[in-house]
Amino acid sequence: MIVKAAPGLKVPREDKPREYITEAKHVDVPESAYYLRRLDEGDLVPGVAATEPAAPTQAAKKAKE
């Protein structure tokens, strides 16, 4: 599951407690009780899959015109 930390928080990783999940980057984590609890408590927020469409390029914008 893809998650990131809620704004202003750093959440320790379950497998590496000295490494943190931040709001700056989406992370793929297992769907374990630890991460599900963090989602329920609001420490983590669901992220968007990496396959989301990229922003339109300049060429694509010109083609629409």
**Residues 6-62: tens digit of each pLDDT:** 999 999 999 999 999 999 999 999 999 999 999 999 999 998 765 555 555 555 555
Between the CA of residue 20 and those of 9, 41, 45, what are the distances in Å?
9, 17, 14
What confidence score (pLDDT) does residue 14 get? 97
What confidence score (pLDDT) does residue 20 get? 97
Asked if residue 3 lies in contact with residue 13, where contact means CB atoms within 8 angstroms, the answer is no
Range of the structural domain that residue 43 is part of: 2-64
Domain count, the chain: 1
Does this model's pTM top 0.85?
Answer: no
